[in-house]
Each structure stands twice: as structure tokens, then as C-alpha cells.
Structure 1
Amino acid sequence: MKGVLLVNLGSPDSPTAKDVKPYLDEFLMDERVIDTPKWLRNIIVRGIILQTRPKKSAEAYSKIWWDEGSPLIVISERFAEKVRKQTDMPVALGMRYGSMTIKKALQELKDKGVDEVLLVPLYPQYAMSSFETVVVKTMEEQAVHFPEMHVTTLPAFYGNTDYIKVLSESIAEGLKDFEYDHILFSYHGIPERHIRKSDPTKFHCKIDNSCCITNSVAHHTCYRHQCFNTTEKVKAFLGLPEDKTSISFQSRLPNDPWLKPFTDFEFERLAKEGKKKLVVITPAFVSDCLETLEEIAMEGKEQFKEAGGEDYIHIPCLNDNDAWVSLMAKWVNEWQSKETLPV
């Protein structure tokens, strides 16, 4: 019997330092997030970051927490429930980090008689710290606890034509009645070395202005290329002027080269260049979360206005948008009936 496993990032159980600390520990101790030797990662995470970050992160979570719980969890649950209504397969929801574990989700599917699983990492672009770690963790859990299961993974859908259409139409809806000066596509940041580590050729990715537009097998696992590809396809679909759009990368750890330009620096640059009305889009996420709701929608707006900007909107992620739900249902149903996956 076939079933579907949707996996998103995860969240602390509450916006308190007590619950944020173990969540951050699990997240940051992941070798695909902070990819240093374990002894050094232990010093960085448990000896430094977790001494102060849980309290600060808890305060940030408190700003965006809903009555129903974590926005990312609530949105993901709504999305999963809507997908269930459009397929006759069991659909389970798990999180890479936190108490809603992948193991629990696989057990839920097993209890319903599922032995063939379509794994759907809810990340449009491939990165070792997001898409890859979901796949690896799922396969580890399957091998140890569910050896009778067979798992197939939905590929990163960053450039899928139907996905671009759904994403673009959602953006167009958000742009209604807003006379913008500029649109900033802000993607989650990753260390530059992750790009090189994910390059199967070990020579193509140079993180310059040429490798991302030079055809290569490396693009299948290159986060930077895929971010540019998503952006270019959305721009083409919507007919956005080249001089009114740009890309940036948000969130980073200090003392380490991360993808540039940095989003917070772009807020200041754009405002000082006279871009008074800014739209920010976050296409690395399908569900609004701490990074989009607090870092971009709240802090970003404040940073832009402090630098001289006047009007600012963040267009929400796809969340449980009906067109997005229908597209996911189409993909999983095609896998069920034809065993085909989108490209």
C-alpha cells in the first residue's frame, strides 16, 4: 500500500527558552547544518551558541506565535489535511527537528498498512542543510525501524513549470494595489562551502557570476543555482523588469563565508539608492516560519525604514494556498497511479 510523508523543518514546542534549547541543540548539532567535526561542533553549539541563543530565539518566537501554536506547524498541518482530502492515500506529516519526528510519521503510515512511501521534503531548492538532511534522516529511520518500507523521494521542485505558475500567481496576488519600486527575492542563507560540498564534479561550483548559468550536472544539487533559477522563472512568468528585482540571502553565522549579498545589507542599500517602496519574497520556504514572519516581515521592515525606506510588504509563502495544495495532490496522485515524479 502506498502513502505520503510530508516533512518540514520543525519547531520548538513552545516559545520558551526551556523548549527552544533542545530544539536548537538538535538542529545545530546536525552535521549537515554545521558541518564541522563533532568535537568542534559540540564546542560551537553547546559551549557557545546555546549559552545565549535560546533566550533570544524564544523572544523571537514569542513575537510570531499563534494561539494554535507554532505558525510553521499549524500551517503544515493545514496543508497536510487539505492534501489528504484530494488523495485516497494515507498522508503523514513529520518534522526534521522537534517532537513531531519523522519516526512517528513513518509509524503512523505503517499502522495504516503503508509499505511504499513517497517522501516529500517541503523545500523547493536542494541544500544539504534542508532537503538532504530530511532525506538522510528518513532513510536512517527506515533502515533501522521500518525495513519493510520502500521510500521514493520527490525531487526538489524549484524549477517545475506548474510550481512556478502557482508561486508566481501567489506573488501576483500579493502585488495587487501596491506600487513598488523594487522586489527583493530573499532566500535562506547557507555557507559557501555547502555549495562546494554538494558539487558532484568537485570543480564546477566557483560561486561566481558564471557557474550558475553554465550548464552542469552540479546544478541538480546546487542551492545557489536553484535559487537563481526559481527567481528567473518567476520574473519571466510575471514579466518583472530586470532593474526592479534582485536576490539576497538571509540568516548567517559569524566568522564564516556565507552566500551573498546579505538581505539585511540589501535593505540598507536599496533604501539609500532611493527605493522607497519594497516588496520582499521568500521562495526558499513553502510555509511561513520564524525566518519569514520575524526576521523578514518584522525586523526587515524596521531595518528598511530606518535606512530611509517608506513602504514595505512581505508576501506570504504559499502556506495552504488552494492552488499549491492541488498541485501537491496532483504530484502524489500521479506517483500513485503512474509512478512518475515531476521534473
Structure 2
Amino acid sequence: MKGILLVNLGSPDSTSTKDVRKYLDEFLMDERVIDIPYWKRFLLIKGIILNVRPKKSAAAYKKIWWDEGSPLVVISERFAKKVATKVDIPVALAMRYGSMSIENGIKELADQGVDEVLLVPLYPHYAMSSYETVVVKAEQVIAKKHAQMSMDVLPVFYNEKNYIKAMSTNIQNHLNGFEYDHILFSYHGIPERHILKSDTTQSHCKIDGSCCEVASEAHKTCYRHQCFETTKEIVKELDLKEGSYSNSFQSRLLKDPWLKPYTDFELEKFPEEGKKKIAVITPAFVSDCLETLEEIAMEGKEDFLEAGGTDYKHVPCMNDNDDWVDVMVTWINNWNQKIK
């Protein structure tokens, strides 16, 4: 019997500092998130970051928390329920980090008789700290506890035609009536070294402004290239004029070089360049979360207005809108109809 496991990032169980610390511990101790030797990671996370960051992050979560709970979890649940009503096989939802674990999601499917699962990492782009860690964790759980179960993985969908069309429609609907000088495509950042580590050729990626434009096998696992391609496809779909948009990367951590340009720096300089009315789009996320609702919609707006901007609009993610649900349902049905 076939089944679907949708997997998103995850969330603390509450906005308490204790719950946030527990969540950050699991998240930041993942070797694909902070990819340094274990002993260094242990000392950094346990000895420094977890003594400082949980309180600050808890305050940020409190700003965006809904009555029903974590926006990311609530939105993901709504999305999963809508998908489940439109397919004829079991659908389960899990999170890479937190109490809604991948282990629990796989067990939920196994308990319903599922022995062939399609894993759906809810990340449009490939990165070792997002898509890859979901796949690896699911493989580990199945090998250890469900050896009879087989697993396929939905490929990254950053440039998939129907997905781009649905996202473009969502953007268009939210920008309707909003006059802007510039559109900023803000993607979640990752350390530059992750790009180099994910380069299957071990030679193509230079992060030099040109390697993303040269055809290569490396692009299959290159987050930077895939982000730029998503922007290009949306630009074509919306017929945006050259110079009316740009890319940036947000949410950097520690002092290592991350992908540039940095979103906060861009927002602060736009007004000086005459870009005083902007819209910000976050195509690395399918669901609104702390990084979109607090970092972009709140902090980003504040930074932009303080720098002299006048009009600021954060375009919500697709969340559980029907176009996005229908795209996912199509992918699931296509997989379900395949005969091995």
C-alpha cells in the first residue's frame, strides 16, 4: 500500500524559553545545519548558543504565534488535510525537528498498512541543511524501524512549471493594487561552504557570479543556482522588467561567509537608491514561518522604513492555497499511478 509523508522544518511546542531551547538544540546540533566536527558543535551549541539564543528566539516566536499554535505547523496541517481530501492514499505530516517527528510520521503510515512511501520534503530547493537532512533522516528511520518499507523522494521543484505558475499567481494576487519601485526575492541563506560541499563535481562551484550560469551537473544540488532559477522563472511568468527586481539571502548565523547579498543590507540601502516602495517575496518557503512573519514582515519592514522607505509589502507564502494544493495533488497522483 502506498502513502505520502509531507515534511516541513518544524517548530517549538510553545513560545516558552524551555521549549524553544529544546527545539534549537535538536535543530542546531544537526550536522547538516552546523557542519563542524561534533566536539566543536557540542561546545558551540551547548556551551554558548543555547545559553543566549533561546530567550531571544522565544520573544520572536511570541510576536508571530497564533491562538492555534505555531503558524508553520498550523499552515502545514491545513495544507496536509486539503491534500488528503483529494488523493486516495494515506497522507501524514511530519517535521524534521520537534515533537512532530519523522519517526512518528512514518509510524502513522505504517500503522495504516503503508509499505511504499513517497517522501515530500516541503523545500523547493536543494540544500544539505533542509532537503538533504530530511531525506537522510527518513532513510535512517526506515532502515532502523521499518525495513519492509520502500521509499521514493519527490525531487526538488524550484523550476517545476505548475509550481512556478501557482506561485506567480499567488504573488500577482497579493500585489494587486500595490505600487512598487522594486521587488526583492529574499531566499533563506546558507553558508557558502555548503554550496561547495554539495558540489557533486567538486570543481564547478566558485560562487563567483558566473558559475550558476554555466551548465553543470552541479546544479542538481546547488542551492544558489536553483534560487536564481526560481527568480528567473517567476520573472518570466509575471513579465517583470529587468532592473525592477533583485535577489538576496536572509537569516545568516555565526560569522562565517553566507550567500550574498544579505537581505537586511539590501533593505537598508534601497531608499538611498530611490527604491522607496518595495515588495518582498520569500520563494524558499512554501509556508509562512518565523523567518517570513517576523524577520521579513516585521523586522524587514522596520529596517526599510527607518532607512527612508515609504511603502513595504511582504507577500505571503502559498501556505494552503488551492492552487498549491492542486499542484501537490498532481505530483502525488502521478507517483501513485507509476508501476514499478
TM-score grouping bracket, smaller chain normalisation: over 0.9
Structure 2: how far apart are the matches of 1:212 and 1:167? 23
CA deviation vs aligned residue, 1:302-335 (integer Å, no higher than 9, x gap): 0000000001000000100100001101100110
Aligned to 2:272: 272
Greater displacement, 5-14 / 268-277 = 268-277
CA deviation vs aligned residue, 1:170-218 (integer Å, no higher than 9, x gap): 1111110001000000000000000000000000000011100100000
Amino acid at match of 1:58: A
Structure 2: how far apart are the matches of 1:57 and 1:221? 30
Amino acid at match of 2:319: N
Matches for 1:14-53 after TM superposition, within 5 Å: 14-53=14-53
Aligned to 2:225: 225
Aligned to 2:93: 93
Structure 1: how far apart are the matches of 2:339 and 2:109? 19
Structure 2: how far apart are the matches of 1:60 and 1:253? 16
Structure 2: how far apart are the matches of 1:240 and 1:44? 44
Matches for 1:1-343 after TM superposition, within 5 Å: 1-338=1-338
CA offset at residue 271 of structure 1? Answer: 1.6
The structure-2 alpha-carbon separation of the partners of 1:339 and 1:21, relative to structure 1 and needing over 3 Å to count, comes to farther
Structure 2: how far apart are the matches of 1:79 and 1:253? 29
Amino acid at match of 1:327: V
Q: Is there any run of 5+ residues in structure 1 with no aligned partner, and where?
A: none
Structure 1: how far apart are the matches of 2:93 and 2:162? 23
Structure 1: how far apart are the matches of 2:180 and 2:205? 34
Secondary structure, aligned partner of 1:55: helix
Q: Number of aligned pairs?
A: 340
Amino acid at match of 2:21: K
Amino acid at match of 1:245: Y
CA offset at residue 254 of structure 1? Answer: 2.9
Amino acid at match of 1:276: K
Secondary structure, aligned partner of 2:337: helix
Structure 2: how far apart are the matches of 1:300 and 1:73? 23
CA offset at residue 43 of structure 1? Answer: 1.2
Structure 2: how far apart are the matches of 1:96 and 1:254? 22
Secondary structure, aligned partner of 2:243: helix
Structure 2: how far apart are the matches of 1:55 and 1:262? 24
Q: Alpha carbon RMSD of aligned pairs, Å?
A: 0.8
Structure 2: how far apart are the matches of 1:338 and 1:111? 23
Secondary structure, aligned partner of 1:212: helix
Structure 2: how far apart are the matches of 1:338 and 1:231? 31
Amino acid at match of 2:270: L
Structure 1: how far apart are the matches of 2:25 and 2:272? 38
Secondary structure, aligned partner of 2:13: coil
Secondary structure, aligned partner of 2:86: coil
Amino acid at match of 2:17: A
CA offset at residue 339 of structure 1? Answer: 5.4
Structure 1: how far apart are the matches of 2:68 and 2:244? 38
CA offset at residue 272 of structure 1? Answer: 1.4
CA deviation vs aligned residue, 1:260-280 (integer Å, no higher than 9, x gap): 000000001112111110100
Amino acid at match of 1:85: T
Amino acid at match of 1:241: K
Secondary structure, aligned partner of 2:6: strand
Structure 2: how far apart are the matches of 1:48 and 1:258? 21
Secondary structure, aligned partner of 1:139: helix
Structure 2: how far apart are the matches of 1:255 and 1:110? 43
Structure 2: how far apart are the matches of 1:103 and 1:310? 47
Q: Is there any run of 5+ residues in structure 2 with no aligned partner, and where?
A: none
Secondary structure, aligned partner of 2:199: coil
Amino acid at match of 2:141: E
Structure 1: how far apart are the matches of 2:30 and 2:190? 14
Structure 2: how far apart are the matches of 1:255 and 1:155? 32
CA offset at residue 338 of structure 1? Answer: 2.4
